[in-house]
Amino acid sequence: MKVYLDNAATTPLDPEVLKEMYRVMESQFGNPSSIHSHGREARTVIEKARKTVAALLHTSPSEIFFTSGGTEADNMAIRCGIVDHDIKHAVTTRIEHHAVLHTLQAMQKSGLIELSFVDIDGRGNINLSHLDELLAGHDRSFVSLMHANNEIGTLTDVEAVGDICKKHNAIFHCDTVQTMGHYPIDLQVLKADFITCAAHKFHGPKGIGFLYINHKLKINPMIYGGAQERNMRGGTENLHGIVGLAKALEIASEEMAEHHSYIQGLKSYLIDKLINNIPGVEFNGEIAPDSSLYTVLNVLFPETEIADMLLFNLDIAGISVSGGSACSSGTNIGSHVLEGIGSNPNRPAIRFSFSKFNTTEEIDFVVSKLRSLFQVNFS
């Protein structure tokens, strides 16, 4: 048996998405910037997809800009939002995705901004009172905080963050890459200036995403070239990718409640099986359903002789997961997220991440392999 439990890294393409993409690749091959009929047909396809995305997020199509994925969208929001609005102070956490963290640190290093870090607890929860204090000390700030952490799954109350940012006239960029397609996002309620998306996190294609830009906030392009995306992103559009993104988000939205319940069931099942089969197992981040991303479970295994070989042994057994540990020395490049929450650097951590295509039979298989590994070690 081969088991794929690394869906936070990327998800398998939904067959219905593939069909829609293939149809467009076969019949709508024109350049959307061309004025002839083939180009106009391609342009119509893009704008239909844009309207689909906007409707699902309760916003205007004019606020959706397609990008190459979440990393480009994060970079565009941060760099252009800060520079074009002459922001001198930014706020984030030490456990953000590197697309956010490294971008802000690079801007800090070049002297463009002062960078502050919000306090977090040992499970990755943000101290909202500290955020309020950080923003109160500056005329205007740029805040970049993710909806759910991609490694440990802890959810942030982004609506509360939005309210605090509005109170202090701060620009709020919310990285929603891990939650898009998994939670309802209503941009009439969420007071965010930017949100980001990558289609391959919800059974869409790789290499396509989008950036939402609130119409009240004007920025210049990060990528210049042609007049594509209403002069906001140069480059011929990824037509079949855009169609795939819209189709995947449409499917995810239609099936969201059903899949939430099913996948949460898989996660809870794995939690119970691990507790009952692996002595000393613990969990990084929040695991309660109301405070944790239901597609992610980060497990802290006992400190053993097989710690360095755990991922290798699972891979040999046909199990695909992500692993790591906190940094234990200056030469050990571990997880900055686990280090940031104070996880034990001597214990191996595994991130299991689920999708609608996983089964309880797969969970049983994984736990049986883990149990055999640890029994050998403990014997």
The pLDDT tens digits for 115-152 are: 999 999 999 999 999 999 999 989 999 999 999 999 99
Within this chain, do residues 260 and 168 fall inside the same structural domain, yes or no? no
Within this chain, do residues 323 and 306 fall inside the same structural domain, yes or no? yes
Of the three residues 254, 275, 301, the one that is the final residue of a domain is 254
Within this chain, do residues 275 and 146 fall inside the same structural domain, yes or no? no
The pLDDT tens digits for 324-369 are: 655 443 445 789 999 999 999 889 999 999 999 999 999 999 999 9
Confidence check: pLDDT of 301 > 70: yes
The CATH number that applies at residue 304 is 3.90.1150.10
> How many domains, the chain?
2
> How, if at all, do strands 89-92 and 319-320 pair?
unpaired
Within this chain, do residues 271 and 367 fall inside the same structural domain, yes or no? yes
Within this chain, do residues 314 and 199 fall inside the same structural domain, yes or no? no
Within this chain, do residues 192 and 317 fall inside the same structural domain, yes or no? no
Average pLDDT over residues 33-50: 96
State residue 334's pLDDT score. 83
Within this chain, do residues 240 and 272 fall inside the same structural domain, yes or no? no
Which residue segment(s) compose the domain that 325 sits in? 3-11+255-378
The pLDDT tens digits for 2-37 are: 999 999 999 999 999 999 999 999 999 999 999 999
111, with CB counted inside 10 A (0-12, 13-18, 19+), is exposed
Whole-number Cα distances in Å, 158 to 53, 182, 190, 191, 244: 20, 15, 7, 8, 27
Within this chain, do residues 244 and 299 fall inside the same structural domain, yes or no? no
The pLDDT tens digits for 60-99 are: 999 999 999 999 999 999 999 999 999 999 999 999 999 9
Within this chain, do residues 250 and 124 fall inside the same structural domain, yes or no? yes
Of the three residues 254, 284, 305, the one that is the final residue of a domain is 254
Within this chain, do residues 76 and 212 fall inside the same structural domain, yes or no? yes
The CATH number that applies at residue 175 is 3.40.640.10
> How, if at all, do strands 349-353 and 322-324 pair?
antiparallel
Strand (E) positions, the chain? 3-4, 64-67, 89-92, 114-117, 142-146, 171-175, 194-198, 209-213, 282-284, 296-300, 319-320, 322-324, 349-353
State residue 138's pLDDT score. 94
Average pLDDT over residues 222-234: 96
Specify the pTM. Answer: 0.95
Within this chain, do residues 264 and 228 fall inside the same structural domain, yes or no? no
- SS3 assignment, position 241: helix
Q: What contacts 22, CB < 8 A, 6 or more positions away?
A: 240
DSSP state of 227: S
Of the three residues 188, 221, 254, the one that is the final residue of a domain is 254
Within this chain, do residues 236 and 358 fall inside the same structural domain, yes or no? no
State residue 328's pLDDT score. 41
Active site residues: 327
Lowest mean pLDDT among 147-156, 183-192, 305-314: 305-314
pLDDT band at 281 (very low <50, low <70, confident <90, very high): very high
Which of 145, 151, 109 is CA-nearest to residue 322? 151
- SS3 assignment, position 308: helix
